[in-house]
Each structure stands twice: as C-alpha cells, then as structure tokens.
A and B are shown apart, each in its own frame.
Chain A
Amino acid sequence: MSQIKEAILETNRQGHKAFIPYIMAGDGGLEKLKPTILKLQELGVTAIEVGIPFTDPVADGPTIEEAGVRALANGTTLRKVLETLAGFAHEIKIPLIAMTYLNPVLAYGIGQFAKDAHKAGIRGVIIPDMPLEESDLVHPALKAAGIDLVQLVSLTSTPERIEKLTKASEGFIYAVTVNGITGARSSFEGDLESHFKKIQSYTDTPVLAGFGISTPEHVKQFGSFTSGVIVGSKIVDSLAKGDWDAIENLVKASKTVPLA
C-alpha cells in the first residue's frame, strides 16, 4: 500500500486527524531544511509537504510566493533540494511529499527526477499546474519509482470530474477548500461538509483539506469531516518568524478532534 495512505490511516486509527505541514525548501537557506523536517517529525506530523520554489507560482498566494522568492534568491533549485534531502533521508521516518510546478520537473528529466526523488525520501508528488488530463506525462515514471501522484479536487470540479480525480489520486485526495490560491483566510464559504462527504463517497482513499487553513479552530473544523488537513501559508509564516509555538498548537489541534 501507499506509504502516505498508510501513514494517514495509521494516524486515524490512533484517534487523530492527519496533519501535513507545508514548508518552502530553501526559505532561510537549505541548511534549515534538515532541522525543520526533523523537528516537525518530532512534533508528530503525519507527513511533510516540501515546496520547491518556482519563478511563476500561479497557484500560490503572497505568503508562499514570497517564501519562494527568498528561496530562489539564495540559489535553491530542485536538484539542490533533492541532494540535501538525500543527505539525511535515513533519519526521516515519515513520508515526504514534493509540491512542485511542472516546468522544473520537465527540465530535470522526468525519469531521473522520479529516481532521485525516491532516494530523497519523497513518496508523493503534487503538481498544481498539471491536471489529471495531462498527468500521463509524469505518471508512468513516478509509478515505476514508487511515488504517489496526488490529485487536487476543487470546489468547481463537477461530479464527473470528482469521480475521476478521486479514483486516480494516490496517497490521499487533496481537497481544496476555496476558489482561489493558497494563503490564510479568516472564513470559508458554502456547505463544505457536504462537499467533502461527497468526495469521500467515491473512494476509500483518505480526503484531506487544504488551502486557507490557518488556525487550530480551522484544523478542528475541517478535521471533523475529513481524514486530516494540510497547513501551508501559516506554517511558512511561522517558520520564517521562528514561532514554533504556533506550529505546535496547530499540530495539537489535529490530535484533539473527536472522531466522527
């Protein structure tokens, strides 16, 4: 079974919701990557989403974009991130998920990327500018290397698309909570609970909520009707400020959600 799916299900079996923090690799220097990942692991997160900086991150809001600009400014590349991760992969016990735009992967070479990513502890890949229809481009190479390709489901996805996406998604289903880009929000619109339940009805692969989740209350709110949450901008912001208390509170919240 997929290592990511197994990690999420195991967290759920222990009575907790899955918690996946997103970090921007290279923000604050690549030397921060190892201590950050190991500390998050120590806090008991389920998996870690490792963002690769890109010049044109169209799916990201200002917090992650600015972190990407800082990472690019100190010379971070996909190659250097994978090399850095490979250097301490034996200490990483939880699965890593790479979040990268498509072009750096194409430039790297898809087959080589899949091999090097696996060596670096990457067990899943999210490519926000590659919808399901174009995924044949990278899926065979990822599959051969044992890496999941995680699909995003949006609020605008039609029922037919939701069915196709949930069936295709590996590891988990990344369900987007808003129309828009990544970034902290104070509130959410619409009947999200029934939307998420609908997504879950198509599959036994766990559904996780992401985009905009930025407070312990959000973690509990979304945790009450999903298998877990992904928190991005708030983590990136807290890491940049060195505010580990805020991160710890978010992780704790995922462990106090009553199981549905």
Chain B
Amino acid sequence: MTMTTKGKFGRFGGQFVPETLMTALQELEEAYEHYKQDESFQQELRYYLKEYVGRETPLYFAQRLTKHCGGAKIYLKREDLNHTGAHKINNALGQALLAKKMGKTKIVAETGAGQHGVATATACALLGMECIVFMGAEDVKRQALNVFRMELLGTKVVAVEKGSRTLKDAVNEALRYWVTNVETTHYILGSALGPHPFPVIVRDFQRVIGDETKKQILEKENRLPDAVVACIGGGSNSIGMFYPFIEDREVALYGVEAAGKGFETGKHAAAINAGKTGVLHGAFMYLLQDDNGFVQEAHSISAGLDYPGVGPEHCYLHETGRAKYVMATDDEALAAVKLLCRTEGILPALESAHAVHYATELAKTMDPDQIIVVCLSGRGDKDVHTIYDALGGELA
C-alpha cells in the first residue's frame, strides 16, 4: 500500500474541497469500501469488463518495433482494443456501476480529449443513467467528433468558455455542477486525481491493466518485465499499470510526462518535472503554477495530457524514487505515432505515443534478453485530424 495516512500518499492527496462536498465524499468512501468487498458487485463488474468491454486485452509482442530499436523486447498492453478505444472505460464503467448501487440517478463528468467523456457516456447509456459532460471549449473544437459521439450516446455536452477553456476548466465546472446537485448526482472523475477517495477508486478500477499484464508476461516469458512505461496526464492508465508492480522492486517504472513544445520553452504539461507543489481540484500535488500560486495552463499536442497537475500517488512514487518521471515532446510523440504505424500497423493515441517514444529510446540502451512493457492506453483514431495537421504535408 502506498497510502500512508487516511486519504494521503505521503504528503500528497487529501480532501481540499468545499464543505458542501465533504459529506458526499464520506458517503462515496463508505459505499466504495462496501462494494469493493461485495462479491456480487465485483462479479457484475467482471461480467461487463469481459462481455462488453472485451477484456482481457492482449499483451502483444511488438516484434518489428523491437527489431527496429535493436535492444530490449517491447511488449504492448493493448488498452486501445477496449470498447470505446481506450483504458478510460475500465474506470467509467466501474464508477457508473458504483453510483447506481448508491442510488444516484445522474452522472457528471469532465473530459479533455473526449475519451473519458465518451467512456462515461457509454457506461451511462449501458446502465440507463442520465449524463452531463463538461468539456473545455478549446477541446470541443479540437475533438468535434467525440462531442458528436457523446451526443449520439444521449449525453448532454456543455462547452466551458472559461479560463484556458481546456481540461482544468472542465473539472472546475464539473465540480461546481456536483456541488449544486450533489444529492442526486455522482461525479465520475476521469483520472487518478481529485480529492480522496477518487485517486484510490480510479486506481483500483484501472489496476486491471497491471494485473492482467503481470499474469500475461509470466505466461509468455516466465518472468517479470525489467521496465514498465506509461504516459502521465492525470495518471490513470499509468497508476493502473504500475500499481500491481510497486512491490516488485526489480521492475523499473517509468511515467512519461508531456514536454509539449519542449520543457525549456515553458509550453509543456510536465508537472512533476517542473517540481512545484500546490493544491488544485481537491488534492495537494505537483502543479504548474506561477510565483503567485496562480495555476498555469498546460500545453501538449495531446488533449488527454493537457492538465497542470498529476495524481497524488504518482507524486508520492516520484518523491520516494520508486517510479521515474521522464518526458517526451510533441514532436517525439508524433514521430512515435508514425513509427508504430509503419512497424506494427497500430495507430496509437497521441497520449500513448509519448510512452511509445520513451520505450523505444529506453530499449536501445538495454539488452535483447530484457523486457519492456508499454501501456498502449488508447487508439489514435480520435487524433487523425490533429496528426494530419501536424504531419500531413510531410508523409512521403
């Protein structure tokens, strides 16, 4: 366990929310602790994950990518093959089921790239719940097709015209909506962020990624990997992948933050590497901010990594040195998209491409008998337009 005291990972985490939400957080914690132990709830969740989401996802040996890098063997955990195209459905479905058991009739969620919004809209359609999703106006523009997908699924999408008009502003607005409608509504936070117990709930619903990976690599290689690599926005796919490996000290854990246009330009989303701590959206964490404590805008080509903070459990894993937090730029992610398309016929999400980039660099420094697992958290169909704008003219 990395939780050191109630609701805290070392000095990170906590419950920094308005008093109106404190009772709701307590109820959520109690309900979650109950259903976590409840075999029929877990059985129902497993049923949907298998029959509806399509788990387990393959752990695929990327032979041509491995050969291209000329080092360690690279395996891809194919979360991109989940229903709705990313790992986000694991958490959205788990929390929607939990909310239903708690007697809530409405769901509110925020979304950046739209993947969590689509996953939540999907879970709500499946379970017959009302759903409202807040999305930064800038992201609505960048991800117009995902907005339409959510609307097709019966969800109301609200464009947030405030602040930087991206993910953090969508979280602000979702929190305001939740404060106002707390008695009927559950907030499905999309990443391992926010006030306790959200970082724990999201991690527990995402740990299926790491649990499956561990079982699969033991079947295929009869040993654990030397390194595990995953991208970090808020940090949900990465904490889900890392968590089951935390006690396995021989497995190196690498979280890849978005360096945007380059860390030195200041136009990035690398909160841990920037090194300042603060409070936003209910948690004490690493946070991009100026000297006055005002939160700064994050920058990344991938909307899903475009967030100024990072989940508290990652902050703790960084501070204790258990996981290492590295970076990849927009350009490196784009190059990784192209590389994975050409070597493996897989179009990764721009978020996941950050992890792919770092893994290819890492592989080159390792021996052929060593193993890297990359969490391929999502597929890139949603990003084709962005990738086209960035690379369209250059493809030969």
Contact = CB atoms under 8 A, between A and B. Distances in A.
A152 B292 CA distance: 25
B162 A54 contact: no
B69 interface: no
B16 A129 contact: yes
Interface in B1-45: 14-24
A58 interface: yes
Interface of B: 14-24, 162-163, 168-169, 172, 175-176, 179-183, 277-282, 287, 289, 291-295
A111 interface: no
Nearest to B196: A133
A152 B295 contact: no
Nearest to B20: A154
A161 B24 CA distance: 13
A19 to B, nearest CB: 23
Contacts of A179: 20, 179-183
A164 to B, nearest CB: 11
Contact of A106 (B21, B176, B181, B278): B278
Interface stretch (A3-11, A72-80, A114-122, A202-210): A72-80
Interface stretch (A85-93, A97-105, A236-244): A97-105
B280 A56 contact: yes
B257 to A, nearest CB: 20
A119 to B, nearest CB: 19
B162 A176 contact: no
Q: Helix, strand, loop or mixed for chain B's interface? A: mixed
Given A108-B293, A156-B23, 10 more contacts: A57-B172, A58-B175, A58-B176, A58-B179, A103-B293, A106-B293, A107-B289, A154-B22, A156-B21, A157-B22
Contacts of A131: 15-19, 22
B279 A103 contact: yes
Count chain A CB atoms within 10 A of each CB in B17, B287, B291 and give the residue with the most.
B17
Contacts of B295: 55-56, 103
Contact of A55 (B179, B183, B279, B294): B294
A65 B161 CA distance: 12
A129 to B, nearest CB: 5
A56 B17 CA distance: 12
B20 A156 contact: yes
Contacts of B162: 65, 69
A128 interface: yes
A154 B280 contact: no
Q: How large is the interface on A (under 10, 10 to 19, 20 to 34, 35 or more residues)?
A: 35 or more
A230 interface: no
Contacts of B292: 77-79, 104, 107-108
Interface string A137-162: 00000000000000111111110010
B172 A176 contact: no
A72 B290 CA distance: 13
A61 B163 CA distance: 14
Nearest to A60: B176
A256 B223 CA distance: 79
Contact of B15 (A101, A134, A155): A134
Nearest to A79: B292
Contacts of A69: 162
A157 B23 contact: yes
A181 interface: yes
Contact of A154 (B14, B16, B19, B163): B19
Nearest to A53: B294
A103 B182 contact: no
Nearest to B295: A55
A54 B295 CA distance: 8
Count chain A CB atoms within 10 A of each CB in B22, B162, B295 and give the residue with the most.
B22
A246 interface: no
A181 B278 contact: no
26 contacts: A54-B294, A56-B169, A56-B281, A57-B172, A58-B175, A59-B18, A61-B176, A65-B162, A69-B162, A77-B292, A79-B292, A103-B289, A107-B291, A107-B292, A107-B293, A129-B279, A129-B282, A154-B18, A154-B20, A156-B20, A176-B20, A179-B20, A179-B179, A179-B180, A180-B180, A181-B179
A157 B291 contact: no
A102 B182 contact: no
B293 A181 contact: no
A184 interface: no
Count chain A CB atoms within 10 A of each CB in B169, B179, B282 and give the residue with the most.
B179
A57 to B, nearest CB: 8
B15 A152 contact: no
B72 to A, nearest CB: 41
Contacts of A181: 176, 179-180
Contact of A102 (B180, B279, B294): B279
B20 A155 contact: yes
A116 to B, nearest CB: 14
B179 A161 contact: no
Nearest to B26: A158
Contacts of B182: 156, 179
A165 interface: yes
Q: Which 10 A-B pairs have the closest CB atoms?
A: A107-B293, A104-B293, A180-B180, A154-B20, A77-B292, A103-B293, A154-B19, A55-B295, A156-B23, A152-B19
Contact of B16 (A102, A151, A161): A102
Nearest to B296: A55
A30 interface: no
A61 B176 CA distance: 8
A84 B105 CA distance: 49
Given A156-B24, A181-B176, A129 B293 contact: no
